[in-house]
Structure 1
Amino acid sequence: MNERIYLDNNATTPLDPDVLDAMIGELAAPPHNPSSIHSFGQEAKKILTDSRNTIAGSLNVKPSEILFTSGGTEGMNFLIRGALSDPTSHIIASPIDHPCVYNTLEDLREHGAHISYLPIDSYGAPRVKDLQEALQPNTKLIVLSAANSETGIKLDIEAIATVAKRANIPLILDGVALLGKEPFSIPEGVSGMAFSAHKFHGPQGVGFVFVRSGFKPTSLLTGGGQEKKLRSGTENLAGIVGMARALTIFDEDEDFAHMKSLREQFEARLIEEIPDLEVNGEGPRLPNTSNLYFPGVDAESLLISLDMEKIAVSYASACASGALEPSRVLLNMGYSKERASSSLRFSFSRMNTPEEIEKATEVITALVEKLRNSTLTLI
């Protein structure tokens, strides 16, 4: 194969050329800091305000409810840690969420917080009844992911938000895997939500949080008092401009249909060639994500073999990379260690093509047959 095929878009997406152009224009501009009171600074402040308005409009929220961050990890840490005035608070969460959530909660547990993880089964997302049963008089926060980055399984945001609102408990959602994949709205019961630009064809290292009016997390970063004194530090103006541009060129309906078509083509072709192949997770999924179980195949060997064929896929969350351990997500869904060790994630974007999908399925089919017939494990 001469052309590389990128099927790991839940890890990061290619930068859109229009986004790059917008960022270059900002980087090439005269020096300007939004906090400066002279005309150069005021020009920068207007760019910042316009970008905030654009992002708020894309989510149908108030511009004052948008705060800029460096990405999903900072955003979720700010929303979670900033919401807790009592370090011994009771928090309800999910054991299958992204490491930026799970590891943050485990750190809080070590410092006295009480964490209740909701039960997860092969459906792949927390259920409303389990959330209702987990509520306690001292519950101070509910933290969940709007969509799982490994399986693509979606949370019933409306139903969960209704429970949180009735209980008068702040609900924090990790929206990083959701934005740019399909249309959604933020229900009233959601107090805060974090997003990251590089997951929707924007630049890496920049993101934003939605903070509902009336919800007042405390700042984690003190300094110049930027972002309403909630996130000090000079704003990444070029990144913010690129992020706003990425949202303006995203066509929810068209891109949703395209990614769903690619996923259906991908899964149908593989199931035709590999009949014992199974999809991990029974709940409704994002249109771009396939987490697949290949019985009798070592996932690490398949991943490396695909990489040698210039096809990029993932074993689990990119932010949990390092040693390839069986997915915590799949294990908590009740799947065996053997199944988790034979599963890979494939994730598509609007920039992928049907031709790429067809070629990828041909290569995957051949490699699965080869690995099943081999007694060797690739290292």
Structure 2
Amino acid sequence: MFEDYIYLDNASMTRLDERVFEEMKPYFFDTYAIPTSESGYSMGVEAKEALEKSRETIAQSLGAETSELIFTSGFTESSNIALKGVAQALQEKKGTHIIVSKIEDYSVLNTAKAMEKQGFQVTYLDVDQYGLVDPEVLKDSITPETIIVSIQHANQEIGTIQDIKALGEVCRDKGVLFHTDATHTFTKIPLDVQEIPVDLLTISAHTIHGPAGIGGLYIRKRTPIRKWMDGGFQESNRRAGLENIPGAVGFAKAVELVTKKENQQLEKMRDHLIERILSEVPQSVLNGHKINRTPQNANITFEYVEGESITLHLDMRGFAVSTGSACFSRSLDPSHVILGIGGDAERAHGSVRFTFSRFTSMDDINAAADAVATVVENLRKISPLGKR
């Protein structure tokens, strides 16, 4: 049904790589036992070995020790564990103040809002026109009661990459724990926790051609954190629940498959699409930082036309993209990210995100640019929003 479909919404979900699936298959049909210690039965021992080997592969890719990585069900759970686990460990000892940026993904933003209802004090940091947090603003926002700061490594909508080292150094100087959501940068740009002053870091398999439903949380040694979810004693008693062995194996394989050449190709496709659209489609504006952005992301606002209409018309032509339009959002609100960088509701409504993967070709990019130019021109002819 979707053989000729050009999928450009890879920030939401990537296609599972066949090599990842092949690596996972034995743990569905052959070695399907729960992981057990060496004193257990052989199938469980083999499952445990696969789990720990996968943990080692992923931890090494971050420059972390194996013991510092726990598996989760995905980036939402990882960020929940980071914020809530630290808060529970420190609220009586230090305070109840949390800092996040206004443009965080909902896994962080809505977690902070939920904690606010429980009595925690939350500061929502402003960002500049490109989506960047000013380290000096962060510094001024930290109080003696601040227990954790959570600022994403790169934004999910506009792709802007934060100066995570500078932000982390502010937190370290102030003696405050620092968490970053690296879902959209993990394997895309270099990440080494020995060089980045971060205490907790969220990653996920679904954006790197791994399986959905598996993620990870890096927790630096001696970071105070409480087990957030009650249950068993899995993940060194830091995360309860049956381990997802096929998911962990697939996650590790997905990490191994990413290459520098692949990311360079993503950058070329990103830059080519941006250049074509901005030069060929009048009244189009790039959202996010021009240089410091993830290699797979291009987010563009088209004035005088709804992003929802562009998305639907592109879909009819065989292209999948996403939009910040309120009509296309489950929350029925315009993109909080576009609003956060100073845009109004109209700019948010007209925004379209294009995100690429290893299965995207330059031919796909050119076809998308052609289709966008045609669709936007046709929609503007009938648009009640203004004249082109």
The alignment's TM-score, normalised by the length of structure 2, stands at 0.93
Decide whether the 8 Å contact of 1:165 with 1:188 is kept in 2. Answer: no
Q: Provide the rounded CA distance (Å) in 1 between the counterparts of 2:30 and 2:68.
A: 28
Whole-Å separation in 1 of the counterparts to 2:61 and 2:249:
14
Aligned CA RMSD, in angstroms, stands at 1.9
Shift of 1:247: 0.3
Distance change (3 Å), C-alpha of 1:119 and 1:166: same
Letter aligned with residue 189 of structure 1? P
| Counterparts of residues 216-235 of structure 1 (less than 5 Å) | 216-235=224-243
Instruction: Spell out, residue by residue over 1:190-221, the C-alpha distance to the aligned partner (whole angstroms, 9 max, x if none).
Output: 11011111111100001111000011311122
What is the number of residues matched between the two proteins? Answer: 375
Equivalences for 1:1-379 in 2 at 5 Å?
Answer: 3-35=4-36, 37-85=40-88, 86=91, 89-186=96-193, 187-251=195-259, 253-282=260-289, 284-316=292-324, 321-375=329-383
Q: CA deviation at 1:233?
A: 1.5
Instruction: Work out the CA distance in 2 between the residues paired with 1:81 and 1:159.
Output: 24
Q: Deviations over 1:8-53 (max 9, x none)?
A: 0100111111001111122121432113612221111111111111
Q: Cα 1:13–1:327, aligned 2, differ >3 Å: closer, same or farther?
A: same
C-alpha contact 1:150 1:317 (8 A) present in aligned 2: no
8 A contact 2:87–2:96 mirrored in 1:
yes
Q: Determine helix, strand or coil for the equivalent of 2:258.
A: coil
Secondary structure of 1:117 counterpart:
strand
The CA deviation at 1:263 is 0.6
Q: Which consecutive unaligned segments of at least 5 residues does structure 1 have? A: none
In 1, the alpha carbon distance for the partners of 2:110 and 2:325 equals 13
Report the Cα offset of residue 176 of structure 1. 0.9
Once structures 1 and 2 are overlaid, which stretch shifts more, 29-38 or 273-282? Answer: 29-38
Letter in structure 2 aligned against 1:74: E
* Structure 2 runs not aligned, ≥5 long: none
Alpha-carbon distance in 2 for matches of 1:148, 1:272: 25
Instruction: Measure, in 2, the Cα distance between the counterparts of 1:200 and 1:149.
Output: 14
Q: 1:323 Cα shift?
A: 4.9
SS in 2 for 1:198: coil
Q: Secondary structure at the match of 1:159?
A: helix
TM-score by length of 1: 0.95
Q: Write the letter of the residue equivalent to 2:121.
A: H
Q: Distance in 2 between matches of 1:183 and 1:161?
A: 16
Decide whether the 8 Å contact of 2:325 with 2:348 is kept in 1.
no
Q: 1:141 to 1:323 in 2, by over 3 A?
A: closer
Letter in 1 for 2:179: I
Greater Cα shift, 125-134 or 277-286: 277-286
In 2, are the aligned partners of 1:222 and 1:229 still within 8 Å (CA)?
no
- Taking the aligned partners of 2:325 and 2:72, their CA distance within structure 1 comes to 21
Conserved in 1, the CA contact under 8 Å of 2:304 and 2:383?
no
Distance 1:158 1:188, change over 3 A: closer
